[in-house]
Amino acid sequence: MNVPDIDRLLQLSMKTVAIFTFLIGGFKMYKTKIISTVVATGLLAGVLAGCAKPSESAQPNSGEKPTEKAPVTLTFWFPGADKVNDEYFTNVAKEFEKLHPNIKIETTVLPANSADVDTKLNAAKLSGTFPDVLSAYLIFMGTRGTKGEFAPLDDYIKKWDEKDDMFESALSIGKVKDKTFGLGFYPAPEILTYRKDYFKEAGLDPEKPPATWEELAQYAEKLTKRDANGNVTRAGFDIPGTSASVFFEPFMRQNGSKVIDEEKEAPAFSDAKSAEALDFLVGLANKKVNTPFDYQKKDTFPFISGKSAMSFLQTTMISNLLNNNPELKDNLGFVPVLKRENKVAFNGYRLFTIGANSKHKDESWEFIQFMMSKEQMWKRYKDLKIPVLRKSMEQQFMDEDPKFNGVLLDYVKSGKGKPIIPWTSLYDKYIHLAYEEALSGKKSAAQALKDAQDNLEKEIKTLTK
């Protein structure tokens, strides 16, 4: 109500008072003034009260502002790899923040090596700074999930209305006994990749890659180039010299070995099947078809620098190779999963986990759901060549690149990652030692594997005492 309206109301009130005063003319003037003032004031108060806005308590609920959530900061740690990988995970956190203004994401890029990540996590556990959300290597399901360092996700997954669209491997890969501690989002198969131009040089059909161990050995010898002194100038096949468990395990499994009996949580790599697989690789290396390198150091692979004809590569390595050398697009070929007794490839996994002591588990799960959305899954494929894990996206994935993606899915579906056991790091130590002793000729394959398993079993017993 504006000032002129109030003035008119005052005038009307005073006229009413005058009439009232006339009727009670017997009263003295000073009483009339008092009554006039009181009445006028009362009338004005009533008018103004009628014109006033209703109190907050009288406001309808629909007019209330929704209660804003208190701001939350989540810590998100992920292993580094290269510029493209690191930028994707850093930028996606910013995308999430725009959609969820009350949640801030603090990202930390970890070392790529799982042993170095392990060291960082141990320090974080001691200092109480364990991340809310971690992009965890599969081995951590055994070494950390079994120790209660990750929060169970089963209740969240049960209520998740998109869970039925996920590949079973994504949902089950993080299961330890009867609890799920991680949700698979990053299958990381090691794909046998070859140079078609080098095949042509060696008189091999570039459209017919090796399908068996015997063919792999034959092709490796034909593709190897040496100088006048017999030194390898271009390897036929990348056989690492150290840190080779990921490279070696699929050959043992293809040959029928369990490697690790996960149900019994017992080593099982000293069998004849494993020894035969190691003998095969040692025999190839003795023919000097390779240039030894450290399998953990992905940038040192001879294939990456054009000095090898065949190699097992991760999808991100293939993507980076093509980005840096677009002329190779038509010269790279991909070998379907080799088969001997079994058809098995190595397919590592990274999983989203929530720290057991996180104070923001609901917000962490909200972030994980965002990361598992169709949009982010497709972006990871386009940027990093990470396979999709949704049934509804499989056809789109195949249509995008039928030849490569067909092989990629073959590796994902036939793949087996690191065994989920509490003592994976110990296993790696001894299997690496056995491989290196056999490759250097210090021990036979069978003896190296037997000694490694015996020593591993002894050390496991000390852990259980």
d(CA 340, CA 213): 7
**3-state SS assignment for residue 229:** coil
Token pair for 50: 């009628």
Judging by DSSP bridges, how do beta strands 232-234 and 183-195 pair with one another? Answer: unpaired
Query: Long-range contacts: 202-205, Cβ < 8 Å, 24+?
Result: 202/309
Cβ atoms of residues 395 and 387 within 8 Å: no
Cβ atoms of residues 303 and 240 within 8 Å: no
Cβ atoms of residues 432 and 295 within 8 Å: no
Q: What is the pLDDT of residues 345-375, one digit of tens each?
A: 999 999 999 999 999 999 999 999 999 999 9
Cβ atoms of residues 302 and 311 within 8 Å: yes
- Gap between the terminal Cα atoms of the chain: 85
d(CA 136, CA 134): 5
pTM higher than 0.75 for the full model? yes
- Which of 210, 176, 212, 214 is CA-nearest to residue 194? 210
d(CA 137, CA 121): 12
Can you give the pLDDT at residue 305? 96
Can you give the pLDDT at residue 28? 39
Q: Is 21's pLDDT higher than 80?
A: no
DSSP string, 121-132: HHHHHHHT---S
d(CA 234, CA 288): 11
Can you give the pLDDT at residue 34? 36
Give the residue range(s) of CATH 3.40.190.10 domains in the chain: 72-187+348-412, 189-347+419-464
b/e code 138-151 from CB counts within 10 Å (16+ = b) = bbbbbbbbbeebbb
- Which of 453, 411, 421, 431 is CA-nearest to residue 278? 431
Can you give the pLDDT at residue 403? 86
d(CA 188, CA 350): 8
When the pLDDT of each residue in the chain is averaged and rounded to a whole number, the result is 87
Place 69 in a pLDDT band, splitting at 50, 70 and 90.
confident
Q: What is the pLDDT of residues 261-284, one digit of tens each?
A: 988 999 999 999 999 999 999 999
d(CA 425, CA 421): 9
Q: Give 237 or 15, the one with higher predicted confidence.
A: 237
In this prediction, residues 43-68 reach a mean pLDDT of 44
Q: Is 62's pLDDT higher than 80?
A: no
Cβ atoms of residues 241 and 292 within 8 Å: yes
| 113-117, 138-142, 433-437: which is most confident | 433-437
In this prediction, residues 417-429 reach a mean pLDDT of 91
Can you give the pLDDT at residue 465? 67
Place 82 in a pLDDT band, splitting at 50, 70 and 90.
confident
d(CA 291, CA 233): 9
Cβ atoms of residues 416 and 344 within 8 Å: yes
In this prediction, residues 435-449 reach a mean pLDDT of 98
Measured at the CA of 103, the angle between CA 98 and CA 105, to 5 degrees, comes to: 85
Options 3.90.79.10, 1.10.1040.10, 3.40.190.10, 1.10.10.10; which CATH number does 189-347+419-464 get?
3.40.190.10
Q: Give 350 or 8, the one with higher predicted confidence.
A: 350
The DSSP element (H or E) to which 382 belongs, if any, is helix 374-384
Max CA pair span of the chain: 139
Q: Is 16's pLDDT higher than 90?
A: no
d(CA 175, CA 171): 8
Cβ atoms of residues 358 and 125 within 8 Å: no
Query: Tokens 């960082």 identify what position?
Result: 120
d(CA 320, CA 383): 10
In this prediction, residues 32-48 reach a mean pLDDT of 40
d(CA 56, CA 60): 9
Can you give the pLDDT at residue 425? 87
CA 441 to chain centre: 39
Q: Is 102's pLDDT higher than 70?
A: yes
Place 170 in a pLDDT band, splitting at 50, 70 and 90.
very high
d(CA 455, CA 459): 6
In this prediction, residues 396-403 reach a mean pLDDT of 93
The DSSP element (H or E) to which 135 belongs, if any, is strand 133-137
Judging by DSSP bridges, how do beta strands 72-79 and 133-137 pair with one another? Answer: parallel
d(CA 167, CA 387): 11
In this prediction, residues 379-396 reach a mean pLDDT of 93
Sign of CA dihedral 455, 459, 464, 465: positive
CA atoms within 13 A on the CB side of 393: 23
In this prediction, residues 250-264 reach a mean pLDDT of 95
For the domain spanning 72-187+348-412, the CATH number is 3.40.190.10
Can you give the pLDDT at residue 14? 46
Place 67 in a pLDDT band, splitting at 50, 70 and 90.
low
Judging by DSSP bridges, how do beta strands 72-79 and 103-110 pair with one another? Answer: parallel
**3-state SS assignment for residue 331:** coil
Q: What is the pLDDT of residues 189-242, one digit of tens each?
A: 999 999 999 999 999 999 999 999 999 999 999 999 999 999 999 999 999 999
